[in-house]
Structure 1
């Protein structure tokens, strides 16, 4: 299943659920219900989840100690979840959740994943329990101690599973810092603080590398297309990626994930165009861009400043999202970011 397709399904589902949630998020699925990246790419830590992370000392501060149970936390949906001990059997419903559990050092405890989870390689050997909506019977049959899900993309599945008395912890990061916090929070829940801190520290190092490199660089107008005809507005992690990478997101005048008005992009005249690498079943985003009437007058097109980035890196709000930040920064400021 292609990552772009997964993103596209998640997007349309999330974008449709929110006004269409992402095709990029958790990028990597062939589901046709989404267009918003956050969906596929995964689970994110929403404001509510963020509050939970802030309310509980980050795992990073407890790296030298063990988690004390019972542990009570509020997830991104505002529901309080109690962990009497470290979960031994885990099910994940989005690629970002799967990758975050692995980064936190508990990948061996995963018993089943959604069909779009393909990273790390070990994830592909896990039992699959469906798409974004999930096969409820399969999830229940997995007998997990906890299901990690996306509060946005997996909203219906979260509600359905809770109605069946399945323990679900939902997250929804809207920023890179929240994605880092989630890895450490998972380490706290799973009592793998040291491993989680190591992964979080690497993410922080990536973030610092980019922000230090571009801090004095001139801001450039940037257009990013994660799925054919779709871009991101303010309030989402992908918008923040552009900003942190030293760019100005020309789509930020709107919020969330949305379908573009080609004329508005021409008027905004981006200096750089960043697009997700096309995959089987999705068609080439670059081909679509090149054949749009009037786009040949855009500065980025005239100056050949069009750059492809790995869709999974920029659309999944997981531990690799800071690698996506580096790639976008290289596209915007190639002289500053190596």
Structure 2
């Protein structure tokens, strides 16, 4: 794995600078789908091996991307542990929200924008047992939403960026009247990587605190045992659930995990 990390971004951290990437002399470059084909071509023309990921649109896509990253970097076992950790946490959330009421939730962005259907924020809200009022109002992707529509939708909770406040125009909503807001790490909600589990679990605990606490008390796992006759038998056991905090994530080493979510990941630097 990589022994060090380097900033290969240009001004504003919005684009990779091919010359900075080449200077790192990587054996492998992992490029997210947002990296332009022109940049990828420049890197390949410079003699680098580059793998450009396709766009991830779902949790299943993140599972597949994580496993692919493991294969590309020789960290298959670590990738599988990470995917297993993700699935375990998501299953705990699903157990918690099943049969529960679905609070109305809205993601408040600057400039009057919000996240509708087809966004990872919509996935986070629905996975956590909420209803995305923007999607219910017919908004797709990231679009402006009028204050009239917000009030009409009557959201119970607002998801705010750190330090943001509820707009005055939203005052006649349950979320505003009860000051029911939750802040999610923007780095986690905007990047299709394993840490998307963190905002999903945080939101689930916020929307369904009692149900989540109960679901997280124990985790039921099913293991397969093989007896001396060669016959498989299934045993169900109940064990204490593992932590849901981000620092409890197993699997890929730090360099590999960063490569999976960074603007451009550099791995296995040449000696």
- For the criterion TM > 0.5, the same-fold answer is yes
Mapped to 1, the partners of 2:119 and 2:41 lie a distance apart of: 23
Aligned-pair CA distance for 1:198:
0.8
Aligned counterparts, 1:1-338, within 5 A: 108-109=1-2, 126-130=5-9, 131-152=13-34, 157-158=39-40, 160-162=42-44, 166-171=48-53, 172-225=55-108, 229-252=112-135, 253-277=138-162, 284-286=163-165, 289-290=166-167, 292-293=168-169, 295-338=170-213
Q: 1:234 to 1:246 in 2, by over 3 A?
A: same
Number of equivalenced pairs: 207
Please, what TM-score do these two structures have when normalized by structure 2? 0.69
Name which one, 1 or 2, has greater alpha-carbon Rg: 2
The question of whether the paired residues in 2 share the 8 Å contact of 1:146 and 1:166 is answered with yes
Mapped to 2, the partners of 1:240 and 1:203 lie a distance apart of: 15
Mapped to 2, the partners of 1:330 and 1:228 lie a distance apart of: 28
1:90 is matched with none
2:237 is matched with none
Richer in strand (by share) = 2
Mapped to 1, the partners of 2:95 and 2:37 lie a distance apart of: 37
Q: 1:150 to 1:173 in 2, by over 3 A?
A: same
The question of whether the paired residues in 2 share the 8 Å contact of 1:223 and 1:250 is answered with yes
Task: Give the unaligned 5+ runs of structure 2.
Answer: 214-271
RMSD: 2.3
2:250 is matched with none
> SS of 2:63's equivalent?
helix
Aligned-pair CA distance for 1:195:
0.9
Task: Give the unaligned 5+ runs of structure 1.
Answer: 1-107, 112-125, 278-283
Structure number with higher relative contact order (C-alpha < 8 Å, ≥ 6 residues apart): 2
Please, what TM-score do these two structures have when normalized by structure 1? 0.56
The question of whether the paired residues in 2 share the 8 Å contact of 1:173 and 1:237 is answered with no
Q: 1:195 to 1:228 in 2, by over 3 A?
A: farther
